[in-house]
Each structure stands twice: as C-alpha cells, then as structure tokens.
Amino acid sequence: MYGYPTRKSAAMAAFVAGALVYSVIFGSSNFKFDGVVRIRRALTTLMRLSEAGWHWRKGLGVSGFSSWAMWMPHLCPRLQVTPPPAHGLTLTWQPPTQHSIFFTQTSCASALTPREACAVESAALHHPSRPLLLLMTSPYLNHTHPLMQIVLSLPMVRARWLDLDRVMDRQPLLDWHTQRTWTINAERASATMSDVVRAELLRRYGGTYLDLDAITLRPLPLQPLPHQTLQIKSSREVTDRRVVLDIPRVFDPTACCSVGPELVTRHLTHFSLTYLAHSTQTCHDVTVFSAGLFYPIHYGYGEGELKSIFREGNGLGHSFFSTTHAFSLHLYNSLSSRVFVSPFGDSILKEAFSRNCPKVFKYMKDNGSFL
C-alpha cells in the first residue's frame, strides 16, 4: 500500500540537494540580491525530485487513492514510513454539499482528540437533519478508537479522505499546490492547508464550515451560512473572486495566518465591513455577526480570559451558560491543547461537554479521563 524510496533514489536526492545548495551559494555573483529567489527555486526543484522517489503502489485494492499522492510525504511524513495499522479503515474522497456541515482535520491523525470529537458530536446534536462530513488528510481511520466509534455511530456523520490533489486540481490553486511552497514552513503546513482548503471547498461546493476546536452550543442560523464569525449567503463574492484568487499572491510561509483570517478580513473592507465585538453588520450578501456570538470568550480581550474556559472551583460553568447567547465556544486549540480539565469539576469546558456532546462526555467521565 505504501511506497518507499529506493537507495538509488535517496542517494540521487542527496546528491541533487548538495548540488543545488552549492549552486545557490556560489552560482551567483550577486547572491545578496537574488539569493532568496534562487533558494526558493532550488527548494521547489529539490522537492519535486524527492517526490519522484515516493509513490503509492497501484493494484493493492486501495479504493479512492490518487495513484500519485505527491503531497503525502510533505504533509504526512510519518505515514510514509509507517504501514497502516491492521485496524485502519481506508477512507475515500467525498466533497461537501451545499446542505452539509464539514470539518477539516489536516494534522494527518487517524483519530480525533476528545475536544475534536466533542466538536463533531455537538454539531450533530444541534443539527440532526444535516449531513456532517469529517474530512481527514490521513488516508485511513482508526475506527476501533473509542472516540471514533462514538463519532461514527452518529447517524448523519461520515468520515472521508481529504485528498488535496482533488481539492486543488484547478487554478488558481493548482500551481501553488504543486510547487509545494506551503511546505517551506513545516511547522505551519497543517494550519496553512486548513486555511486554504476551507476557502476552496466553500468556493466550489458551498456548505457550512466549522472548526474542530469549536463546540456548537445551539443551532446555527440557517442563512447566511456560518464560517466562524464570518457568515456568507453566497460564498462566491468573497471566497471565489477575492480570497481564493489572492492566496497564491499573498501567501507568506514565514507568517501566521497570511491566507486565513487576515486575508478574509482584508477583503471584508471592500464591503465596508469591520470586525466589531458587539455589532452584526450586513452588506449585500455578506453578514458578519458580532464576535460574541462565536467567540464569547476571546483570548485577546483581557489577560487570562481564555483561561476562564478551563478554570475550576469558581462555578464558572453554570454562570456562563445561564447568560450566554453564543452559537459556539471556541477553544483555541493551538493555545490550550495542553490544558487538562477534570470531567467532575465546574468549569465552562466541562459544562460545554456535558450539555453538547453527552456521549463523548460520558465516555471521558466513565474512564476518568481529562477533557
């Protein structure tokens, strides 16, 4: 199922790498000015050559895979050297529809964390008639994992493979994707792909995108369709002609969020829309809801405010839910993933679990596991 680089191809890649580095450093009499450009071109060439040593073997009954999933060694290097487990369930590609709610998991994990599983169950709980699509860059799923068994048992939830070659098989993202500049910053590659694919999927297929670190607290407004705090009735004006077209031009591998929130916010100014904490604004077919409806507790509003989601012993859970009118609770996983919370306490997170993802919460409580 998995292809491995031969010794010959590995040696060739090493030789080419040395030759390219030598060419970049010594091949220009004006390196100070064009060295960065030459390095970028060399890296692109090297990545393409190294890809030639990797391939997905054909004819092994792997349904739904691209015969050449060239992005896999870059985004999911561990999967290239680790055979799929015996309990792995092979996933196939399926795009979202206008009516579906979808999530994207771009870290190449084969199972969800408790908070991610809660995000999926909470969306399913509050939207029992809408199909939910969990798109994962891992080509196989650990369907024996207890949390995955809970998620997959939900009637309207389906897990599918997020094949980047299928998502970005046309312009304006085809060249940007195949040039692999998104791999230059390996630490941010997963986050970059999450930003890009959500915009392209909304552009091409529509639907409702939700983050895997946001717990749904009540049914989302039917129209416009939600995209975090940005609500879009017709996604073409923003995501097609503006955001997606701009991604190859503005992408900066050294910066955070250059093709995510910052890019969307920049284009909102074309509609005379601004990000206000307590105001919902509409212009033509774009509505931006007040921040408190999707970010009732924000990490940037006050020192230690984000920590209040996880704080125990102050009765914050009951107090928060007796006053909030928010649609969702954002957990900011990149900042809070290492904060562990008891399922027996009185925190906001514990209360959010017990009210909105009861099956996941029961499993965590019965096993005495941290949330």
Specify the pLDDT at position 256. 81
Give the residue numbers spanning the domain of 47: 1-54
* 41 within a domain of the structure (yes/no): yes
* 255 within a domain of the structure (yes/no): no
Quote the DSSP letter at residue 185. S
Per-residue pLDDT of the chain (371 residues; tens, 9 = 90+): 333 333 334 434 443 344 333 333 333 434 333 444 444 444 444 444 344 334 333 333 333 444 447 888 888 887 755 556 666 688 999 999 999 999 999 999 999 999 999 999 999 999 999 999 999 999 889 989 999 999 999 999 999 999 999 999 999 999 999 999 898 888 889 999 999 999 999 889 988 999 999 999 999 986 544 344 444 444 445 555 688 999 999 999 888 888 887 888 787 776 665 555 567 777 666 777 787 888 888 765 555 788 899 999 999 999 999 999 999 999 998 889 999 999 999 999 999 999 999 999 999 999 999 99
Q: Which two tokens mark 200?
A: 């392209």
Tracing tokens 């680790």 back to the chain, one arrives at: 82
The whole-angstrom separation of Cα 194 and Cα 138 is: 14
* 135 within a domain of the structure (yes/no): no
* 246 within a domain of the structure (yes/no): no
Output 107-110 pairs: Cβ under 8 A, ≥24 positions apart.
Answer: 107/137, 107/190, 108/75, 108/76, 108/78, 108/79, 108/137, 108/138, 108/190, 109/136, 109/138, 110/85, 110/136, 110/138, 110/140, 110/141, 110/142, 110/145
Give me the sheet containing 157-161, strands edge to edge.
157-161, 132-136, 101-105, 208-209, 225-227, 230-232, 286-288, 281-283
Contact of 352 with 213, CB cutoff 8 Å: no
12's CB contacts (< 8 A; 6+ apart) are 49, 53
Specify the pLDDT at position 82. 56
Q: What is the pTM of this model?
A: 0.79
Specify the pLDDT at position 313. 92
* 139 within a domain of the structure (yes/no): no
* 197 within a domain of the structure (yes/no): no
* 209 within a domain of the structure (yes/no): no
| Count of the separate structural domains present in the chain | 1
Specify the pLDDT at position 261. 79
* 2 within a domain of the structure (yes/no): yes
